[in-house]
Amino acid sequence: MKAFKHMESFTQKCISRWSITHYARYSDTPHKKSKLAPLQERRMIDQCKIFAKAGDGGNGCFSFHKGRPDGGNGGRGGNVILECSPRVWDFSGLQRHLIAEKGGPGSSKKLIGSRGADKVARVPIGTVLHLINGDIPSVVETQSSTDVDPWEIPGELVYDLPDPGIGSISSDTSGEVKAIHSTGCSSSQAEETNFEKSEKSTDVFSQLSTSKGAPEFDTKDIEEKQEILYNVAELTEEGQQIVIARGGEGGLGNVSCSKDSRKPMTMKAGACQHISNLQDPDSVHSSPHAAGAPGSEIVLILELKSIADVSFVGMPNAGKSTLLGAISRAKPAVGDYAFTTLRPNLGNLNYDDLSITVADIPGLIKGAHQNRGLGHAFLRHIERTKVLAYVVDLAAALNGRKGIAPWEQLRDLILELEYHQDGLSNRPSLIIANKIDEEGADEVYKELKRRVQGVPIFPVCAVLGEGIADLKAGLKMLVNAEISHKLCLDQILLA
Ligand SMILES: Nc1nc2c(ncn2[C@@H]2O[C@H](COP(=O)(O)OP(=O)(O)OP(=O)(O)O)[C@@H](O)[C@H]2O)c(=O)[nH]1
State the chain's mean pLDDT as an integer.
71
DSSP 8-state assignment for residue 86: T
Q: What is the pLDDT of residues 31-76, one digit of tens each?
A: 443 444 433 334 567 789 999 999 999 999 998 999 888 899 999 9
Query: Among 311, 370, 367, which residue's Cα sits nearest to residue 341?
Result: 311
Per-residue pLDDT at 384:
73
Between residues 163 and 83, the one the model is more confident about: 83
Per-residue pLDDT at 56:
97
Per-residue pLDDT at 304:
81
Per-residue pLDDT at 178:
34
Give the C-alpha separation, 339 to 336, whole Å.
Answer: 9
Per-residue pLDDT at 154:
37
CA angle 308, 427, 388 (to 5 degrees): 45
Per DSSP, which regions of 103-200 are E strands?
119-124, 127-134, 139-141, 169-171, 177-179
Per-residue pLDDT at 210:
32
Ligand 1 pocket check: which of 324, 340, 461 to mutate, most ligand atoms within 8 Å of Cβ?
340
H-run or E-run covering 415: helix 406-420
Rounded alpha-carbon distances, angstroms, from residue 172 to 199, 290, 293, 489? 20, 42, 33, 32
Neighbours of 65 (CB within 10 A): 19
Cα-Cα-Cα-Cα dihedral sign, residues 361, 362, 364, 370: negative
pLDDT band at 381; cut points 50, 70, 90: confident
pLDDT band at 307; cut points 50, 70, 90: low
| Ligand 1 pocket at CB < 6 A | 314, 316-322, 334-336, 338-341, 362-363, 434-435, 437-438, 461-463
CA of 336 to the centre of ligand 1 (A): 6
Per-residue pLDDT at 428:
94
Index of the ligand 1 atom closest to the CA of residue 318: 19
Cα-Cα-Cα-Cα dihedral sign, residues 33, 38, 42, 44: negative
Average pLDDT over residues 380-391: 84
Per-residue pLDDT at 27:
54
Angle 468-479/320-327 helices, nearest 10 degrees? 90
Does residue 266 register a pLDDT over 90? no
Give the C-alpha separation, 139 to 243, whole Å.
Answer: 6
Query: Among 271, 233, 310, which residue's Cα sits nearest to residue 474?
Result: 310
Q: Which sequence spans correspond to the domains of the chain?
A: 16-44+306-491, 47-303
Q: What is 16-44+306-491's CATH topology?
A: Rossmann fold (3.40.50)
Give SS3 for 69: strand
Per-residue pLDDT at 156:
32
Nearest CA to ligand 1 atom 9: 319
Per-residue pLDDT at 23:
36
Per-residue pLDDT at 363:
60
Per-residue pLDDT at 325:
86
CA of 321 to the centre of ligand 1 (A): 7
| CATH code assigned to 47-303 | 2.70.210.12
pLDDT band at 344; cut points 50, 70, 90: low
Ligand 1 pocket check: which of 32, 321, 322, 399 to mutate, most ligand atoms within 8 Å of Cβ?
322
What is the DSSP annotation of 441-493? Answer: HHHHHHHHHHHB-SS-EEEEBTTTTBTHHHHHHHHHHHHTTS---B--GGGB-
Nearest CA to ligand 1 atom 2: 435
Task: Spell out the alpha helix ranges (H) of 105-186.
Answer: none
Average pLDDT over residues 18-36: 43
CA of 127 to the centre of ligand 1 (A): 29
Ligand 1 pocket check: which of 311, 321, 394 to mutate, most ligand atoms within 8 Å of Cβ?
321
DSSP 8-state assignment for residue 331: -
Index of the ligand 1 atom closest to the CA of residue 342: 23
CA of 89 to the centre of ligand 1 (A): 22
Average pLDDT over residues 399-422: 89
Per-residue pLDDT at 355:
79
Per-residue pLDDT at 257:
72
Neighbours of 202 (CB within 10 A): 11
CA of 423 to the centre of ligand 1 (A): 28
Q: Which residues lie closer than 8 Å to 32 by C-beta, 6 or more apart?
A: 317, 396, 401, 402, 403
Q: C-alpha 224: how far from its chain's center?
A: 20
Does residue 484 register a pLDDT over 60? yes
Nearest CA to ligand 1 atom 1: 435
CA of 434 to the centre of ligand 1 (A): 9
CA of 318 to the centre of ligand 1 (A): 5
Count of positions (residues) in the chain: 495
Nearest CA to ligand 1 atom 8: 319
At 486, the amino acid letter reads K
**How many CA atoms, within 13 angstroms, populate the side-chain half-sphere of residue 199?**
8
CA of 38 to the centre of ligand 1 (A): 17
Index of the ligand 1 atom closest to the CA of residue 336: 27
Q: What is the pLDDT of residues 101-146, one digit of tens each?
A: 999 999 999 999 999 999 999 998 888 898 998 888 865 444 444 4
Does residue 199 register a pLDDT over 50? no
Give the C-alpha separation, 459 to 296, whole Å.
Answer: 56
Give the C-alpha separation, 222 to 213, whole Å.
Answer: 19
